[in-house]
Structure 1
Amino acid sequence: MKVFQGIEELQRAVGTHLGHSGWHTIGQRQIDTFADATGDHQWIHVDADKAARSPFGSTIAHGYLTLSLVPMLVGEVYRVEGVRMGVNYGANKLRFPSPVPVDSKVRAGVELLSLAPGGGGHQATVKVTIEREGGDKPVCVVETLTVLVP
């Protein structure tokens, strides 16, 4: 965990890789709960028997489930002291290059791309690359936008 003591210290980290989160397993219970929360019960996510006969060989996590892990995973990598809050502003360049089979372990790599005044604070653009243990391609790549409010 990197702890930055204010915006000025964070500014000096622009262009650097801040680290990796721990590994987290995405199990069927989490996939099913996400399906219930979103109403997305597509068989490839929730029907283990049918999914076993698919090209993936098992159920796979929803792409948006993987994306929803970003705040938790990034929260394990860094935080900024001396700000009142961080507010999600949006995302750029979202891709899901590879599936996440059930019971996969994933982690996030975090790179601070930019930090600039804006939105009532400073807007951080952070590239998050989520990888699957044993995978050859990332499972999610996204640039997140967060406004850090002093």
Structure 2
Amino acid sequence: MDTITVQEMAASVGTERLSDWVEVTQAMIDTFAEATGDHQYIHVDPESAAQTPFGGTIAHGFLSLSLMPMLAARTGAPNIQGAKMGVNYGGNKVRFVTPVRSGKRVRGRFELLKFIERKPGVWEQVQLYTLEIEDEPKPALIAEWVALIYV
């Protein structure tokens, strides 16, 4: 994996990176339900969920959002020279557009919107995260996400 300076990262604002496809399995959905305590039938009961407009179980919206770090790591984005750590700072906007049905494949599209030095050694990174669903016209979600990078 390539390594770039913070100045090179700042100069790359506007670039996009795409992850590979990942299947959202029922096992993944069930594990997320266990971890969060969200056992709503549309997520964990295939028979009952089949009777809904979704036609089967769907992933939790927060599961779709939580795929962001894994998918970002699968884009081949370069490491930042001297970075000690990166932490989530929050989201400016999050919209859940289309449910992800169990068994569908998704991928992350990441556009770097902003990369500025907030104070010495602390850089703010804002990315547009779009979770695309294979063979679906609309994305699962769109989020503007903020991270702090410490160098």
- Bin for the TM-score computed over the shorter chain: over 0.9
Q: Which residue of 2 aligns with 1:146?
A: 147
Distance of 1:28 and 1:141 partners within structure 2: 22
Task: Encode CA deviations 1:39-67: one digit per residue, 9 max, x unaligned.
Answer: 00000000100001111111000000000
Q: Does residue 16 of structure 1 match 2:22?
A: no
Q: Would the aligned equivalents of 1:15 and 1:113 in 2 still touch at CA under 8 Å?
A: yes
Distance of 1:96 and 1:79 partners within structure 2: 28
Q: Which residue of 2 aligns with 1:137?
A: 138
Task: Encode CA deviations 1:14-49: one digit per residue, 9 max, x unaligned.
Answer: 1222x2100000010000000000000000000100
Equivalent runs, 1:1-150 vs 2, <5 Å: 3-17=2-16, 19-77=17-75, 78-82=77-81, 83-118=83-118, 121-150=122-151
Letter in structure 2 aligned against 1:6? T
Distance of 1:131 and 1:104 partners within structure 2: 10
Letter in structure 1 aligned against 2:114? S
- TM-score for both structures, normalised by structure 2: 0.93
Task: Encode CA deviations 1:51-99: one digit per residue, 9 max, x unaligned.
Answer: 0111111100000000000011011121323111111111111011001
Gaps of 5+ in 1: none
Instruction: Tell me the SS of whatever aligns to 2:126.
Output: strand
Larger strand share, 1 or 2:
1
Once the two structures are aligned, what percentage of the paired residues are identical? 43
Instruction: Tell me the SS of whatever aligns to 1:145.
Output: strand
Distance of 1:128 and 1:48 partners within structure 2: 29
- TM-score for both structures, normalised by structure 1: 0.94
User: What is the CA RMSD across the aligned residues, in angstroms?
Assistant: 1.3
Distance of 1:32 and 1:42 partners within structure 2: 11
How many aligned residue pairs are there?
A: 148
Task: Encode CA deviations 1:109-138: one digit per residue, 9 max, x unaligned.
Answer: 110000111265100000010100001101
Gaps of 5+ in 2: none
4+ aligned runs moved over 3 Å, structure 1: none
